Amino acid sequence: MPANLEGHVCIVTGPTSGIGKQTALELARLGAQVVLACRDAGKGEAVRDEIVSGTRTSRTEVMQIDLADPASVRTFAANFLATHSRLDVLINNAGILAFRRRLTPGGVETTFAVNVLGPFLLTALLLPLLKSSAPSRIINVGSATHSSGRVEFDNLQGEREFRFIRAYSNSKLDLLLLSYELARRVQGTGVTVNCVHPGTIRTGLYNGLPAAFRFVKFFMRSPAVGAAPIVRLAASPELRDVSGRYFDRLREARSSAASYDVGAGQRLWSVCEALAAPLG
Ligand SMILES: NC(=O)c1ccc[n+]([C@@H]2O[C@H](COP(=O)([O-])OP(=O)(O)OC[C@H]3O[C@@H](n4cnc5c(N)ncnc54)[C@H](OP(=O)(O)O)[C@@H]3O)[C@@H](O)[C@H]2O)c1
């Protein structure tokens, strides 16, 4: 059973719909001070109002962030650090499934930018505060589709070939490799890092797909089912020291063989560091 989170500060990215919205609501119900890290602040205010009326807590805040834009990620982190003295839980939930290859204004392929580079930069910028707030937790929302992904250093951003499901699966494998690499790097600091597949959940993730793909939504589970494993990782006392693991919904599981390639994780870390530079 999750703990009481009174006094805990939690950031949830992508809380304006689907799994992130439900996660934010559940964390607020447990007493946490939740920061809604939203691309669209107007949508964020509406979610905040729902959370406040559903939980009678006024400690939920909205802060703007566009994970596709490193400048916006830096502004978010600077604003957060200027206004908060602790961070107990960072949930990198926001993610996209982009049907076509598009570049951000900074020239990075959007799936890679939002699912990999944005969370990488956000985590790096908030890591000193997570360390000084330890014990603290980082939860990356991955996907079981990582198992069909490949680390393609010559095609990280679909520059050679772009297929949307492959780009998504690859991005989730990248996120998992970075989760394991970060867990190694923060070992002994009291910061834990885990990655979780929330299940196949009926959300806005599939809205951008052609109608032929969207029928699968009817066979999916509710956002509450998807939020449960994330909230458990964020709040369960028995998971306090568990780090560097992958969870398939509520169970710890082995991830794909490719995800345990330490060399690939280190190399990907360096690539992301270069793309996100300067990190400080
Ligand atoms: N649904 C599933 O079956 C499933 C399965 C495995 C993993 N996941 C993962 O679960 C996570 C949550 O997805 P979901 O299914 O709940 O999808 P969703 O309903 O589409 O929610 C995605 C959230 O991410 C936000 N977002 C998108 N682009 C952003 C950006 N550039 N900057 C900041 N925020 C951005 C969206 O904000 P806007 O409202 O502004 O668009 C929204 O709040 C994702 O990482 C997804 O890959 C989902």
Q: Which atom of ligand 1 is nearest to the CA of 19?
A: 16
Atom of ligand 1 nearest to the CA of 113: 31
Predicted TM-score (pTM) of the model is 0.98
The Cα–Cα gap between 228 and 1 comes to: 11
Residue from 19, 50, 116 to probe ligand 1 pocket by mutation (most atoms less than 8 Å from CB): 19
- CA dist 22 → 19, 157, 225 (Å): 5, 30, 9
Report d(CA 193, CA 235) in Å as an integer: 13
Helix (H, G, I), strand (E, B) or coil at 237: helix
CB 244 within 8 A of CB 184: yes
Cα–Cα separations (whole angstroms), residue 229 to 29, 40, 139, 235: 15, 25, 10, 10
% helix / strand / coil in the chain, to the nearest 5? 50, 15, 35
Contact, 109 vs 102, CB < 8 A? yes
In sequence order, the 6+-apart residues with CB closer than 8 A to the CB of 224 are 22
What secondary structure letter does DSSP report for 220? Answer: P
Measured between alpha carbons, how far is 90 from 71 in angstroms, rounded to an integer? 19
17 Cα to the center of ligand 1, angstroms: 7
| Protein residue with its CA nearest to atom 37 in ligand 1 | 14
Q: Ligand 1 atom closest to Cα of 223? A: 16
Question: Which pLDDT tens digits describe the chain residue by residue (280 residues)?
Answer: 457 999 999 999 999 999 999 999 999 999 999 999 999 999 999 999 999 999 977 799 999 999 999 999 999 999 999 999 999 999 999 999 999 999 999 999 999 999 999 999 999 999 999 999 999 999 999 999 999 999 999 999 999 999 999 999 999 999 999 999 999 999 999 999 999 999 999 999 999 888 877 777 778 999 999 999 999 999 999 999 999 999 999 999 999 999 999 999 999 999 999 999 866 5
Alpha-carbon radius of gyration of the chain: 17
Ligand 1 atom at minimal distance to the Cα of residue 114: 31
Whether 168 is catalytic: yes
**What are the Cα distances from residue 105, in Å, to 108, 110, 273?**
8, 10, 19
Instruction: Write out residues with Cβ below 6 Å of ligand 1.
Output: 13-20, 39-40, 43, 65-68, 93-96, 114, 141, 143, 197-198, 200-201, 203-205
Ligand 1, atom 46, lies closest to the CA of 95
CA dist 138 → 14, 40, 102, 195, 247 (Å): 15, 23, 29, 8, 13
The closest residue, in CA terms, to atom 7 on ligand 1 is 143
148 Cα to the center of ligand 1, angstroms: 20
Pocket test residue of 72, 120, 147, 203 for ligand 1, highest count of atoms within 8 A of CB: 203
